[in-house]
């Protein structure tokens, strides 16, 4: 028999944690809709090829972290490890090309087999936004502005720094890639085994290495900014000018890269030091080559993803939840009437709980523990007179209120 506990790397989200989780999602939806993004929910699993083609078969996600299985029909399926590939697939399979520029947002669970750590789980949750069909630098500015607005609305922007870089266009990246290969080949004996493998398959990933030996080589490595052509420089200047106009601060970070070939131009991360070593809470960039690589027509794209668990861990001050009112029926006849009263009050937007069990003192104690504002006591005497005893739980005052006047007395 399976152990009665969550699988390693998963957890039950409830209590205060689910309040924080829901608060992040609600703020995210509000911000995304203010920016005129439309919600999309893609399937939790896709054909495995969707992720292999987009993430690269040599990537750690594909080779080590994906949850892949064969279904009863013999299809190879994978639980989604990230959102962008599924949205890019939906853009094509749902015929969204006909709408020109499409602005989408979503959120939900992702799955990666990796070592669990603070704020990182094997089943984790992300928010995601994408703009497809917009080649202009202003789309990059809008995406970053949306992330910035969300962090401001959550009250955590003071603990976060925006890191920004340009990856350049295809021509610039090819020139930089060649320079990196030349440099690291000269120091191949100092590279870790993983980075030796990356040198052949994806040299930009060496810049992300956490190995101390690899990192010792980075200060003298070629800088991407030195290989940007005029088109790429102009694009990046427009992005920076747009952020400056909005008053969004950033730091330039030439070590911020994306290893896959379909990424281009803008790359960004919002980074915090409040969560330990894993400090990125939102990361994104432009991926103009993705749709074409998946078999579609050339289509520009830009987006970001953020970890809901990490954002929730940073939130300190959530708005107070609406205080409930508690109905306390004493006796079977009173209970039936109390149910009808509760239903009417809920229909008018009030938060109402029922105190069923125990003597009156115990029920009032539980109402106080719920931070209820009022207790409504309904016994045989009150029922006969068509009233409830309304007790203010803050000051202890109580009075009789007719059934018909309850709503006005509570609002």
pLDDT tens, 350-398? 999 998 888 889 999 999 999 999 999 999 899 999 999 999 999 999 9
Cα 83–chain centre separation = 10
Distance CA 268, CA 40 (A): 23
pLDDT for 204 equals 84
Distance CA 278, CA 313 (A): 13
Flag whether pLDDT at 58 surpasses 60.
no
CATH class of the domain comprising 325-410: alpha beta
- 8 A C-beta contact, residue 251 and residue 162: yes
- 8 A C-beta contact, residue 51 and residue 111: no
pLDDT for 256 equals 87
Nearest to 342, CA basis, from 289, 407, 293, 400: 407
Q: Which two tokens stand for residue 15?
A: 């209590």
Pick the CATH number of 16-169+229-314 from 3.40.190.10, 3.30.930.10, 3.40.605.10, 2.60.40.1930: 3.30.930.10
pLDDT for 20 equals 94
- 8 A C-beta contact, residue 235 and residue 137: yes
pLDDT for 353 equals 94
Question: By mean pLDDT, which of 116-125, 133-142, 234-243 is the weakest?
Answer: 116-125
Flag whether pLDDT at 278 surpasses 80.
no
> DSSP labels for 247-301?
T---EE-TT----STT-EEEEEEEEESTTTT--EEEEEEE-TTHHHHTTS----E
pLDDT for 44 equals 97
Q: What are the residue boundaries of the structural domains of the chain, listed by start?
A: 16-169+229-314, 325-410
Nearest to 167, CA basis, from 263, 234, 250, 240: 263
Flag whether pLDDT at 13 surpasses 80.
yes
pLDDT for 54 equals 77
Helix ranges restricted to H, 96-190: 137-153, 170-186
For residues 182-211, average pLDDT: 86
- 8 A C-beta contact, residue 234 and residue 142: no
> DSSP labels for 8-66?
TT-----THHHHHHHHHHHHHHHHHHHTTPEE----SEEEHHHHHHHH-TTSHIIIII-
- DSSP code at position 206: G
């Amino acid at each position: 028999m399976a152990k009665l506990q969550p699988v390693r790397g998963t957890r039950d989200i409830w209590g205060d944690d689910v309040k924080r989780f829901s608060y992040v999602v609600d703020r995210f939806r509000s911000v995304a809709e203010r920016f005129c993004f439309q919600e999309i929910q893609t399937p939790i699993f896709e054909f495995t090829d969707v992720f292999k083609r987009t993430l690269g078969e040599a990537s750690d996600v594909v080779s080590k972290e994906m949850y892949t299985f064969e279904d009863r029909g013999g299809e190879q399926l994978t639980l989604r490890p990230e959102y962008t590939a599924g949205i890019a697939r939906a853009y094509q399979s749902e015929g969204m090309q006909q709408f020109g520029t499409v602005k989408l947002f979503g959120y939900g669970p992702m799955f990666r087999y990796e070592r669990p750590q603070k704020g990182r789980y094997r089943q984790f949750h992300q928010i995601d936004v994408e703009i497809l069909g917009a080649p202009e630098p202003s789309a990059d500015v809008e995406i970053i502005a949306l992330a910035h607005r969300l962090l401001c609305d959550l009250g955590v922007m003071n603990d976060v720094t925006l890191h920004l870089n340009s990856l350049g266009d295809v021509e610039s990246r090819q020139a930089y890639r060649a320079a990196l290969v030349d440099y690291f080949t000269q120091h191949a004996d100092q590279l870790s085994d993983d980075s030796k493998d990356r040198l052949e398959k994806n040299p930009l990933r060496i810049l992300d290495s956490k190995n101390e030996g690899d990192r010792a080589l980075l200060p003298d490595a070629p800088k991407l900014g030195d290989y940007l052509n005029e088109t790429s420089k102009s694009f990046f200047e427009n992005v920076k000018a747009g952020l400056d106009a909005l008053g969004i601060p950033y730091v330039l970070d030439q070590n911020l890269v994306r290893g896959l070939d379909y990424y281009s131009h803008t790359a960004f991360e919002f980074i915090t030091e409040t969560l330990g070593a894993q400090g990125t809470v939102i990361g994104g960039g432009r991926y103009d080559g993705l749709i074409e690589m998946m078999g579609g027509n050339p289509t520009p794209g830009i987006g970001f993803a953020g970890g809901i668990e990490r954002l929730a861990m940073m939130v300190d001050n959530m708005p107070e939840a609406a205080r409930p009112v508690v109905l306390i029926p004493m006796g079977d006849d009173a209970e039936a009437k109390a149910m009808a009263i509760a239903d009417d009050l809920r229909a008018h937007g009030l938060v109402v709980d029922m105190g069923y069990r125990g003597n009156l003192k115990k029920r009032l104690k539980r109402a106080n523990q719920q931070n209820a504002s009022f207790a409504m006591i309904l016994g045989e005497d009150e029922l006969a007179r068509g009233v409830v005893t309304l007790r203010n739980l803050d000051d202890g005052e109580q009075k009789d209120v007719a059934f018909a006047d309850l709503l006005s007395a509570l609002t």
